[in-house]
Structure 1
């Protein structure tokens, strides 16, 4: 640990406030099997993945109880550690380490934030299990040696209260975005059903658009006339919008710029990746110029009979997603489509005025969702900054807030 310990705080090792727990399953089939996800923490495996992704034999699985922590022993990062909140008990893969903290020493929410900060700072990165792939690994004995500054329990719970208020605002904003998108989708599904009943024709995408593949990245390529330009990756193409928070650069030949440059109105489709990324379609509005796209992102350029916004909505519809899912080549958790699959995508083709009406309905929801996503980004940024300041002691809460928690100090809450 570096830096001075804030006034009234004390320096502790993780091993002083936590201990490893290793209880194996006794063969019970009544305990739910859990998985760890980056953004949601513990989830029931079958419900989250809609299928069984764990071993049929859970005899070696570890039991984790409410309030106990677990982390991925191999490749520990900020997304692979959490404590159990929503279940009384669960089973977790033997690849995880389970431990519990002393509730009279540290608040669980504060403990989680401290552990995540260690992971984010890279302090776990020097550890390796020495295996064939030299994957990062950290056992609890090593983890227990890490030191950090710990405020009194009342101040911990005051900090947790403040951070929880921000988390609640983030959750509500996320829920609002989800509700806007869900409402939009239901309205559009209803409109598309009416369109189908009206007898409007269906054609293949190849008949009303051209499909363009992207440029592949090569570290060893030699360039005669190099040009560095922004390029879009799969991560930038979200479900219904473009995420421009992180735009990377790629080097191409100067004379390739025209071939791979995106044009305003191009509809971007992901070749694959995780199931939720498959076939994502959204319209490029020319936010960056010039800008190219990688080979895992298709750019579809509509002909006059097809509106780009309407095409993106078709791809996001239930039938659109079902088409890509059924057409894809699938592995355990990944799927991909090729150019032929995309060219054969069935396009419902109502008159242009109807396409524009449907696109306009979607736009009103999308504009509100975009505004809420901007608010969400600010809240997340505030949470990060506030967490860093409060957990380091650089920012101290007023005693009026801390005093509310002095009566609970030493009690499990």
Structure 2
């Protein structure tokens, strides 16, 4: 953050912006009591701009008095002095009981002429975080001292402009909150659809199968019967190179999607060797056997890939089962429940190659398959749009905050 103040702005420090700036209290495990009346706020409760209310630690009123704890007030700014990230902060909303906080959280109350919300946005700005990280120390867990935190530079516009800046940033935060809520609801809708679209409706006739009750007319077949090929990977991941062909490993398959993050590559000779049993192609479906069990994705259509360790491939018979339906059927509650049972009640174990070859697949007629697949695909498209909107709003917040908090862009009346 630059120390150069625009016209009418004050160049100061965080500590000088506050009438009250102190550490939380040194509270050891022996001081805590699960039946205590005073909530002890932890680092886990401090989100990036939001109070997370995750912890469940307490001490008695008498112990808080004995330790001379500083009780929190609604609106206090809580600043984490430890990662991750250092200097993340939130406004304390207040609880239905007294609260104190631990020593690795600083408490800040803005002085007269400083808006508390503006101060929280100033601390959350990327440039302030970089300064805080640079002033931190520690090899195993990085920490910034309160004195170093308080000495970090802060720019203060006039109070009215502080409030206008805070209002602009709050409006972006609200848009982010609504996008996040939409994503949460779409994910719940997807989960319910993967259950209900593969279950009989109340009052309808049912088919009793190895996967439980399915809608009337549905059958269950082993995967090897509805696929023209079921291909196992070699028993290890191919040699890794800086460039070359993509290697799909288990971390690249999550929630029905191909994940490019941490995608590794292999050379041409290794690619040929690792695809000798069959080269993955568009329309194939990949599935993990381990770590975790039963994650699936479609083979990407924009570049050739080979299979890493613990991966298998289904190539559906198009006259029996639609590729998109197979992708969703493998994610459905009946199939996922079956896989959990194979894994001993958990998805963190492993299943054998034969289990994946013979995995029971629910199969309605092709017309029904298309309806089910299209319904779930529409939810996925909406989810993709919502996630993209959230990412765009987050990027907008970073850009706008940088401009407004530095004074490069002024928010005038």
Both structures adopt the same fold (TM-score exceeding 0.5): yes
Report what 2:54 is aligned to.
45
**Aligned counterpart in structure 1 of residue 105 of structure 2, from 97, 100, 112:** 97
**Aligned counterpart in structure 2 of residue 172 of structure 1, from 178, 203, 211:** 178
Report what 2:216 is aligned to.
198
Report what 1:107 is aligned to.
115
Q: Shift of residue 375 of structure 1?
A: 3.0
Q: 1:303 to 1:316 in 2, by over 3 A?
A: closer
Q: Is the 8 A contact 1:70 1:96 kept in 2?
A: no
Q: Is the 8 A contact 1:324 1:337 kept in 2?
A: no
SS in 2 for 1:192: coil
Report what 2:373 is aligned to.
359
Q: 1:240 to 1:253 in 2, by over 3 A?
A: closer
Q: Is the 8 A contact 1:231 1:248 kept in 2?
A: no
1:82 aligns with 2:90: yes
Structure of larger gyration radius: 2
Q: Shift of residue 140 of structure 1?
A: 1.6
Report what 1:50 is aligned to.
none
Which whole-Å CA distance do the structure 2 matches of 1:191 and 1:270 have between them? Answer: 23
Report what 2:203 is aligned to.
none
Q: Is the 8 A contact 1:104 1:153 kept in 2?
A: no
Q: Is the 8 A contact 2:258 2:297 kept in 1?
A: yes
State TM-score, norm by structure 2.
0.71
1:388 aligns with 2:406: no
Q: 1:101 to 1:211 in 2, by over 3 A?
A: farther
Mapping of 1:150-169 within 5 angstroms? 150-169=156-175
Report what 2:17 is aligned to.
17
1:124 aligns with 2:133: yes
1:138 aligns with 2:144: yes
Where does structure 2 lack aligned partners over 5 or more consecutive residues? 201-205, 207-213
Mapping of 1:315-326 within 5 angstroms? 315-319=330-334, 322=337
**Aligned counterpart in structure 2 of residue 350 of structure 1, from 335, 342, 364:** 364
Q: How many residues align?
A: 375
Q: Is the 8 A contact 2:77 2:89 kept in 1?
A: yes
Report what 1:228 is aligned to.
244
Which whole-Å CA distance do the structure 1 matches of 2:265 and 2:75 have between them? Answer: 49
1:379 aligns with 2:393: yes
Report what 1:264 is aligned to.
282
State TM-score, norm by structure 1.
0.71
1:370 aligns with 2:384: yes
Which whole-Å CA distance do the structure 2 matches of 1:90 and 1:302 have between them? Answer: 60
Higher deviation after alignment, 344-353 or 4-13: 344-353
Q: Is the 8 A contact 2:186 2:383 kept in 1?
A: yes
Q: 1:102 to 1:348 in 2, by over 3 A?
A: same
Q: Shift of residue 181 of structure 1?
A: 4.0
Q: Is the 8 A contact 1:214 1:299 kept in 2?
A: no
Q: Is the 8 A contact 1:231 1:249 kept in 2?
A: yes
Q: Shift of residue 228 of structure 1?
A: 3.2
1:313 aligns with 2:328: yes
Which whole-Å CA distance do the structure 1 matches of 2:152 and 2:87 have between them? Answer: 19
Q: Is the 8 A contact 1:230 1:249 kept in 2?
A: yes
Q: Is the 8 A contact 2:179 2:386 kept in 1?
A: yes
Report what 2:6 is aligned to.
6
